[in-house]
Amino acid sequence: MENKFELCPKCGSKNIKWCNGKKWLCPDCGFDLYCNVAAAVGIVLYDNYDNVLFEVRAKEPRKGFLCLPGGFVDPDESAEDAVVRECREEMGAQIKEGKFLCSFPNTYVYKNIEYKTCDLFFTAKLPEEFKDMDDFVKTLRREESEVVGFEVRHISSVEEVEALPLAFTSAHKTLLKFLEVK
């Protein structure tokens, strides 16, 4: 999929062109629009029993598939603050501290527009006041526009990761990295 703009957003010319896989350029007025990467965050929230928390997506892209809690970084927000905010918004959970794990590129198609993202992933252990992930899930309040529900999956092998119906390849790669370092 290639994003296609038929008109220059500045002068309305129909001569806008995609250049070098990085930007659109209007030869008539000189306007250029770079296709910058968007930053997104996700968190691998786990317990002592190799269980990981997943959300079931409520909307496209990949509605109904599993994803790690997270979302896009807002303007003037750090990745660390974004992952805490996203957990609060999507799950009603207060995650105090996430530890950076890895980053991977991703492609996010929304309303037929392709967004290139750099997904930054963190890990956090289940808060101590909960005995296990199922106990924690009972306290969550889902953001209905984003999350259909929550699933807890045992993740201790590559085979378990491969069997997951994940929405995004970056989450798949992250879980494999999580297995390497845990």
CB atoms within 10 A of CB 178: 19
Supply φ then ψ for residue 167, to 5 degrees: -75, -35
CA distance 141 to 105: 29
Query: 3-class DSSP state for residue 88?
Result: helix
**Terminal Cα-to-Cα distance of the chain (whole angstroms):** 36
Q: What is the pLDDT along the chain (182 residues), one digit of tens a residue?
A: 466 788 999 999 999 998 888 899 999 999 998 888 999 999 999 999 999 999 999 999 999 999 999 999 999 999 999 999 999 999 999 998 799 999 999 998 888 888 899 999 999 999 889 989 999 999 999 999 999 999 999 999 999 999 999 999 999 999 999 999 98
- What's residue 48's pLDDT? 93
What is the residue whose two structure tokens read 């809690």? Answer: 69
Q: Is 10 strand, coil or helix?
A: coil
**15: Cβ contacts below 8 Å, ≥ 6 apart:** 8, 26, 27, 28
Q: Are 84 and 95 in contact (CB under 8 A)?
A: yes
- For the record, the structure tokens of 106 come out as 């991703």
Question: Whose CA is closest to 43, among 92, 107, 77, 87?
Answer: 87
Q: Which of 162, 161, 147 is nearest to 46 (CA)?
A: 161
